[in-house]
Amino acid sequence: MIFRNPAGAPELACDGCGCRWFDRMTGSCYECGTPVAAQALAEYRQALDAFAATKRDSAATMASPCPAPSSSSPTR
């Protein structure tokens, strides 16, 4: 199960109980012990890639210089 945190980033939750805590050594949920399915991990990685691409795009937009004032702008 994938949901979005308040910042908009994807987070993986257990399909069994909805918990967000996983044991990386065993690949299972801390709360109920449900193993993390390979498909769930693949979907999560895809969601992370999409989120990262969105962040890169917005960072590139913010980093672009402001347009120069037009020559028809009044000067003081």
The residue whose two tokens read 């044991």 is 23
In-domain check, residue 34? yes
Domain assignment of residue 63, yes or no: no
Query: 40-73: per-residue pLDDT in tens?
Result: 999 999 999 999 998 887 766 665 566 666 666 5
Whole-number Å distance between alpha carbons of 10 and 30:
19
The continuous run of DSSP H or E covering 46 comes out as helix 38-63
Per-residue model confidence as pLDDT tens digits over 1-41: 899 999 999 999 999 999 999 998 999 999 999 999 999 99
Domain tally for the chain? 1
- Please indicate, yes or no, if residue 70 is contained in any of the structural domains: no
Contacts 24+ apart (CB under 8 A), 30-34: none
- Residue 19 domain-assigned (yes or no): yes
**Residue 26, in any domain of the structure:** yes
> Is residue 74 in a domain?
no
Residue 67 domain-assigned (yes or no): no
Domain holding 41, by residue range, is: 2-51
Q: Say how many C-beta atoms besides its own lie within 10 A of residue 59's C-beta.
A: 9
- 67/70 Cα distance (integer angstroms): 9
